Structure 1
Amino acid sequence: MSLISVLRTGVSGMNAQSNRISTVAENVQNSSTTGYKRTSAEFSSLLLENNTNSAYNSGAVETTIRRAISEEGSINSTTSKTDLAIKGNGFFVVQDENKAPLLTRAGNFVVDGPTGNLVNAGGFTLMGYSLLDGAPVPALNSTAGMVPVNMSSLGMRATPSTMGMMGGNISADTPDLTGALSPTNYSKKTSIVTVDKLGNSVTLDVYLGKVPANPAATPPIPQNTWQASVYTSGGTALTSPPVTLSFGADGKLTGAEATAAKTNFTIPGGEAFSLDLSGATQFAGGFDLAGGANGRIPSAVTGTEFGGDGTVYATYADGTKLAAFKIALADVKSPDNLEPRAGNVFRTNIESGDLQIGFAGVGGFGSLKASALEMSNVDVSSELTTMIESQTVYTANSKVFMTGNELLDTLMNLKR
């Protein structure tokens, strides 16, 4: 037996336990770090091949450092709307200052003042797909097409009106008009407010008139017929000829009459607009009209909200919401083999496999929860137990080293 090998084996054992203690120290200090994945030291024996039955030379211990990346931590609720947690498989795709894509489970995102991007506590920017130009079509194995999630880039936003409706009761007791329907000759006037391309309010005046029956006209005008004309507030006619509303004996528009009670025109300075009057009825009593139009006047972004499917909504001062981005999730075949980097992020490598991109709740990816964070998966009590065990084994290895050294001293003293 080689006494030198005893010394080397003792040193190897102490080095192995030093590595283990180092992982314990890292785990304990990160036991409260959002999305942190615990590290462990795994050992394997290294035996020498030249041993015989009569002589044995001790080998050493090899240390392999592993991370429990696929092991989930607990999900805790928070008061921040921009905090995100993944329940199940997947990672957030983030970007460092060099625009390199990385993966993380740390979803403690806040708005960065200088850039307006959503960044986590490690300073990494959350990536997603823009929804402003339609639904995204992500590449299955690449982050191409992803952009930083940035609400400040939306700024003031206006949506022009494209459609509206008017319905409710038109009084059957109204006398017939004398002469053609016009802004100076009508039975009832009402208004609808729309929005042009610049976000300006454009008021549309709707004039209604009951038309006398005329069977000889082309086409014939039956009883219970009304006409509707739309004008700008400045008096410019937008409908020509007027819209005809021919009510049945039951006071409703049905079939071809309901289809004819629609008109299309262009709002001054705005988009093509469709006005639907088919919801009108004609019963006895007074007028009871209601209506409206889509579109939104300019409003500033005041906040951010997340949907369970990863959709990021910009909330505006007027209370409306706009689906602006959609967060994608990434996964790999072997998450535990991802390469850890500073800042609680990971990078893919050959052992982990290539990226696979998808969305929350689809194709095996986990779900997203807003106002929540995934905590560290470190169990402090287990780490303290490991620390005591390592301390004991380290001491035992040091005793082996000291015993081997004493034996060498005895051997060296034989010649004296």
Structure 2
Amino acid sequence: MSINSALNAGVSGLIANSAALATISDNIANSNTVGYKTVDTEFGDIVTNSNLYGDYDAGGVLASTRQLVTAQGNLQQTASNTDLAISGQGMFVTTSVPDPSVTDSRNFTRAGSFTLNNTGYLENASGQYLQGWPVNADGTVTTDPTSLTSLQTINVGDVGGTATPTTTLSMNANLDASQTVNAAVTAGIYSPSSTSTSMAAYDADNATGTKPDFTISVPVSDSQGGQRTLQLNLLKSSTANTWDAELVASPASDVQDGSGLTDGQVATGTVTFNSDGSINMASSTLFQSGAFTTPAGSTTPTLNIGASTTPPAAGQVSWGTSLGVGAQTMAFNVDTAPGGLSQYASASVTQSVETNGTQFGNLTSVDIDDQGFVTAVYDNGVSRKIAQVAVATFQNEDGLKSVSGDNYQVSASSGTYNLKSAGSGGAGTISPSTLESSTVDLSQQFSGLIVTQEAYSASTKILTTADQMLQSLISIKQ
């Protein structure tokens, strides 16, 4: 009986040390794998029901493995903005499909070698897609610590070229107070209310129409990123401190004329100044009619240009259907008050015209900060926050179930997840342009390899010795 138990103990030693060899082999093979966690083999003796003062039956040894998930690997800088590492506790949340359903599994990993794939998703070397909370239109993030379905696969490509329309316009220009009144105005040939002689109809080649005394060119962007130009044409009036004015699109075909407008006119009226040279907005009819409205309690007029799909109402205009199809309604503030437009006895000159809004842009880079905010940067100067990377923490990370690709899943030993933003509630911070190295210590693994080999050889010696004893027993009978 004791010889048989010795044989069994020797066999268990072979099995246990084979398991140890397997884990050591995995560790050595993954010594350069990003985010890999060392697996240890632990041995425990198998106790039989041996009597205290009687025969002893060898139970042998049982091997079990333990993955040290909480061990932090060294953080190494990289040249890629989308390489990520977590400094401290926590795991990235990933999925194996870009658009997961409720029933699709979510994985957890420290392997942060993410890159943009050809559809704009952040995908790591194991084919896992990074999850995060989407950024709302107002720049806030709605987090949920217990719901994986509140996360979305981060896709920079969904944002597109991020064209933004003009919403503010600021003009700074001086009109020469000593400008002589045009002969056509003096003779009454020109009248701002007569569209047939409007300044927009001026033709320099044929010398028809009335040439404006001064023009201010204003670049604007529509909602589709289309670049358009508006011109403020000004003609000195015979009325003191008053200039006839019209705002026109250039070219005129950019807009559909509303009632009472022609030749690309957006609005017509006058710009009036006080005796000290400052603009008198209340008396400047250009900004009080047509496409302009002034919100209650504000001195800044708002220019409204309808969408191409909306027929222009009386006194209104819309973008032309042939250009910028789909362009949405524009409404932008026109800042001309004090210091904007002036009338002094010096040459008419435009000091500055400033507008916001951008044309269609192409993605140039993706930036990720230590709080996990993913920002898309475009070649038109626009940068936009897309999402915030979620960090999952567990009561016992070492209890997570290991699956392929340096991924883990929830188990009874790990406890449930808790989703947090980086650096909050005990979650580690995110280090961009950084990768976490494997926690494998090669010197320790090679020394363990020698010990395991010797232990395996010793177990085989148990079997040969027990076999010799059995042979001796059999020879007695013979």
TM-score normalised by L of structure 1: 0.82
1:159 counterpart = 2:164: yes
1:274 counterpart = 2:333: yes
> 1:29 matched to which residue of 2?
29
> 1:9 matched to which residue of 2?
9
> 1:122 matched to which residue of 2?
126
> 2:113 matched to which residue of 1?
108
Between 1:200-209 and 1:144-153, the stretch displaced more is 200-209
Residues 125 and 148 of structure 1 are in contact (CA less than 8 Å); yes or no, is this contact kept in structure 2?
A: yes
Partner letter of residue 336 of structure 1? Answer: D
Q: In 2 relative to 1, CA 279–390 (structure 1 residues): closer, same or farther, beyond 3 Å?
A: farther
The whole-number CA distance in structure 2 between the counterparts of 1:371 and 1:108 is: 9
Unaligned 5+ runs, structure 2: 186-190, 193-197, 200-209, 253-262, 281-296, 306-317, 320-328
Residues 92 and 329 of structure 1 are in contact (CA less than 8 Å); yes or no, is this contact kept in structure 2?
A: yes
* C-alpha deviation, 1:244, in angstroms: 6.7
The whole-number CA distance in structure 2 between the counterparts of 1:366 and 1:248 is: 62
Between 1:89-98 and 1:119-128, the stretch displaced more is 89-98
- SS of residue paired to 1:144: helix
Partner letter of residue 325 of structure 1? Answer: A
> 1:145 matched to which residue of 2?
150
Unaligned 5+ runs, structure 1: 215-223, 254-258
Report the aligned-residue RMSD. 3.5
> 1:264 matched to which residue of 2?
302
TM-score normalised by L of structure 2: 0.72
User: Superposition pairs for residues 208-357 of structure 1, below 5 Å?
Assistant: 230-233=247-250, 234=252, 261-267=299-305, 268-269=318-319, 270-278=329-337, 280=339, 287=349, 289-357=351-419
> 2:454 matched to which residue of 1?
392
Identity %: 29
* C-alpha deviation, 1:209, in angstroms: 8.5
* C-alpha deviation, 1:405, in angstroms: 2.8
Q: In 2 relative to 1, CA 346–260 (structure 1 residues): closer, same or farther, beyond 3 Å?
A: closer
Residues 228 and 244 of structure 1 are in contact (CA less than 8 Å); yes or no, is this contact kept in structure 2?
A: no
The whole-number CA distance in structure 2 between the counterparts of 1:239 and 1:261 is: 18
Residues 245 and 269 of structure 2 are in contact (CA less than 8 Å); yes or no, is this contact kept in structure 1?
A: no
After superposition, the C-alpha distances for 1:55-112 in whole angstroms (9 at most, x for unaligned) are 2222222222111111111122222233222222222211114742111111222233
Q: In 2 relative to 1, CA 381–194 (structure 1 residues): closer, same or farther, beyond 3 Å?
A: same
Between 1:43-52 and 1:275-284, the stretch displaced more is 275-284
- SS of residue paired to 1:397: helix
- SS of residue paired to 1:192: strand
Residues 239 and 265 of structure 1 are in contact (CA less than 8 Å); yes or no, is this contact kept in structure 2?
A: no
Q: In 2 relative to 1, CA 66–252 (structure 1 residues): closer, same or farther, beyond 3 Å?
A: farther
Q: How many residues align?
A: 398
Could you say which structure has the higher strand fraction?
1
Q: In 2 relative to 1, CA 388–211 (structure 1 residues): closer, same or farther, beyond 3 Å?
A: farther
* C-alpha deviation, 1:380, in angstroms: 0.6
After superposition, the C-alpha distances for 1:117-140 in whole angstroms (9 at most, x for unaligned) are 222111122223333645331321
After superposition, the C-alpha distances for 1:300-328 in whole angstroms (9 at most, x for unaligned) are 33443323322222333334322223322
Residues 177 and 211 of structure 1 are in contact (CA less than 8 Å); yes or no, is this contact kept in structure 2?
A: no
Residues 219 and 227 of structure 2 are in contact (CA less than 8 Å); yes or no, is this contact kept in structure 1?
A: yes
The whole-number CA distance in structure 2 between the counterparts of 1:41 and 1:406 is: 31
The whole-number CA distance in structure 2 between the counterparts of 1:129 and 1:312 is: 10
Between 1:224-233 and 1:124-133, the stretch displaced more is 224-233
After superposition, the C-alpha distances for 1:166-187 in whole angstroms (9 at most, x for unaligned) are 34x647x733886999966977
- SS of residue paired to 1:13: helix
The whole-number CA distance in structure 1 between the counterparts of 2:419 and 2:180 is: 66
Partner letter of residue 143 of structure 2? Answer: P
Q: In 2 relative to 1, CA 15–62 (structure 1 residues): closer, same or farther, beyond 3 Å?
A: same
> 2:227 matched to which residue of 1?
201
Q: Which structure's relative contact order is higher, taking Cα pairs within 8 Å and 6+ residues apart?
A: 1
The whole-number CA distance in structure 1 between the counterparts of 2:223 and 2:112 is: 38
Q: In 2 relative to 1, CA 247–413 (structure 1 residues): closer, same or farther, beyond 3 Å?
A: farther
1:175 counterpart = 2:178: yes
1:45 counterpart = 2:45: yes
Q: In 2 relative to 1, CA 200–158 (structure 1 residues): closer, same or farther, beyond 3 Å?
A: same
